[in-house]
Amino acid sequence: MLRFSMRRGTISAEREMTGGGVQGWFQSLPPCWVVYALTLTETVGAGVLALPIAIATVGAIPGVAILIGLGLINVLTMAAMASAIGGSTTVRQPNAFLGRIVAEYLGQAGAGLLSVVLLIRGVIVLMAYYIGLSTHLAGNSPIPAPVWTVLIFVLGIYMVRRKDLAAVAGAALIVGIVNVSLILLLSALALSQMQVANLQYMAVPFAGGQSMEALDLRMIFGVVQSAFFGHLSVGNSARLVLSRPEGGRALLRGGIAAQLTAIVIYTIWVIAMTGAVDPVRLANEQGTALAPLSAQAGPVVQVLGTVLAVLALGMASFHVSYSLYHLIRERLPLLTVQSDGQGMSTWQSVVRFVRAPMSHSWFRFALAVSPIFLTFLAAERLLLTNAGSFASLLCFSGTAASSMLAGVYPLLMFAASRRQKQHEGHLQRMLRNWFLLTILYLFFVANLFLHGLVLWDVLWMQISVVVLGVLVVGLTLHVARRGIFNRRDSGPNDLAGELSISSP
């Protein structure tokens, strides 16, 4: 089965031999299909429920064009991530995690910033999942959204308390397959409600007499980028396939194929949804895109949509809760000091006083779940004041966190890789062009500053993305001064990805 563990703010997947069943079938697949299945099911998930809302803000035709354009950019960054991870020596070591791979390429400064971004993304995304799932369930039941949020939070804490994600992770692949099937089925039902006038709507300058102020890019980039975020699954897949022949090529091809499939699925989904539902109503939806479709298409969509929302948002919230828990728990030992109790300084005495309650498991657990609890409180406040929406939170996560984790980091890691010639394909040869690599990097960095300084009008969002932009520029300059981007040709020792290496 797949066993997921969290260390230094990242998730890794380790392979355990099982006798049969779904896990045995999955492990018997060719390496490329293993990567494809894991990456696609992680990419096509909860973000799809906000995608039509974001597209509706500009209209179906320009929205789909932006969707495909950003999707192709994510194909390039996925290729960069897969190439960098496939060429890493750290990933083949026991207990290797993405944080250590980043440290191999970008140093401890890069790994530290990665942890900060993962924490930000975890909190914001979990808040969005709380709001999205609770509002959808409240719209289909007499129970109000704040009460549903309490139930989802308690269930999430229970799953974390079990300290075993194997059962959840083992079902994640099946849930992902069911989610993709439900999305395609709901798309077919939405197409039966298609209205050409809805597809012709465009809120862009000079279309239908619109002024320049009609162009609203605040929502669309972040949500689309968040929907394509599946790059961390490449790190999970690496531990499963790099020990097998042609594992490096499988990592690259499987990840790229999953991103291309996601583009096709999202395009079908968006065209069906924006054609079936009035775009103005869809753009103003506070919950998921399923609510207006259910109201228009009837009880069948309502039932299928509820199943999709529960599976996609519920499973995603459990994973994010588990990740946040380990992100804090793994850092608690850093608060301790070694002392024999004699001649302790004042600082050592204070630290020892702080350390004492940490010997109790309940206290450590309470500290580790504190980000989850605070996120739950923030979500409740937004629900009670009607001050936040599912799509807007995913927009912030996609702009701030996904732009870095699925954009900046893969590009920097690829540029820092000393093994850029192994498993080289057309996309990798394109990325070895420093002009293209620089343009892609500037695209993601400029996006942070554009949203922080121009597009957004919420102060904490503006400050957050500007600070992240400054930090990522500082990190780039730091590693550049150290000569990390000075490319070296591949040598004989850099071809480990072509060899069959036994699992540690």
Q: How do residues 336-390 score in pLDDT, each as one tens digit?
A: 444 444 545 555 555 555 555 555 677 778 888 888 999 999 999 998 888 777 8
Which of 36-45, 190-199, 362-371, 485-494 is the most confident on average? 190-199
- Taking residues 154-174, report their average pLDDT: 67
Per-residue confidence (pLDDT) for residue 33, from 0 to 100: 83
Query: Percent helix, strand and coil across the chain, each rounded to 5?
Result: 75, 5, 25
| Confidence band of 214 (pLDDT split at 50, 70, 90) | very low
| Confidence band of 47 (pLDDT split at 50, 70, 90) | confident
Q: Helices 290-297 and 98-139, interaxial angle, to 10°?
A: 40
- Of all residues in the chain, the percent with pLDDT exceeding 70 is 76
Tokens describing residue 232: 């961390």
Per-residue confidence (pLDDT) for residue 17, from 0 to 100: 40
CA distance 431 to 310: 39
CA distances from 337 to 83, 154, 356, 362, 368 (A): 40, 34, 12, 21, 19
Q: What are phi and psi of 37, to 5 degrees?
A: -65, -45
Q: Please name the residue ranges forming H helices in 140-165.
A: 145-161
Lowest-pLDDT range, 69-83, 87-101, 382-396?
A: 87-101
Lowest-pLDDT range, 38-42, 203-207, 370-374?
A: 203-207
Lowest-pLDDT range, 102-106, 175-179, 201-205, 335-339?
A: 335-339
Task: Answer for the pair 269, 60: CB distance below 8 angstroms, yes or no.
Answer: no
Per-residue confidence (pLDDT) for residue 287, from 0 to 100: 77
**Domains within the chain, CATH numbers bracketed:** 2-332+364-498 (1.20.1740.10)
Residue 144, number of CB atoms within 10 A of its CB:
14
Q: Is the pLDDT score of 294 beyond 90? A: no
CA distances from 300 to 47, 278, 307 (A): 22, 19, 11
Lowest-pLDDT range, 11-20, 258-267, 295-304?
A: 11-20
- Of all residues in the chain, the percent with pLDDT exceeding 90 is 23
Q: Helices 98-139 and 232-241, interaxial angle, to 10°?
A: 120
Q: Helices 299-329 and 290-297, interaxial angle, to 10°?
A: 160
Q: Is the pLDDT score of 14 beyond 90? A: no
Q: What count of Cα atoms within 13 Å lies in the side-chain half-sphere of residue 221?
A: 21
- Taking residues 145-164, report their average pLDDT: 83
CA distance 501 to 332: 34
CA distance 254 to 242: 13
Q: What is the CA radius of gyration of the chain?
A: 23
Per-residue confidence (pLDDT) for residue 97, from 0 to 100: 66
Between these two residues, 337 and 182, which has the higher pLDDT value? Answer: 182
Cα–Cα nearest to 375, from 414, 328, 330: 328
Q: Considering the entire predicted model, what is its pTM?
A: 0.79
Between these two residues, 39 and 216, which has the higher pLDDT value? Answer: 39
Q: How wide is the angle at C-alpha 404 spanned by C-alphas 95 and 91, nearest 5°?
A: 20
Q: Please name the residue ranges forming H helices in 58-97.
A: 60-86
Residues 6 or more apart whose CB falls under 8 angstroms from that of 233 comprise 38, 39, 42, 43, 255
Task: Answer for the pair 415, 240: CB distance below 8 angstroms, yes or no.
Answer: no
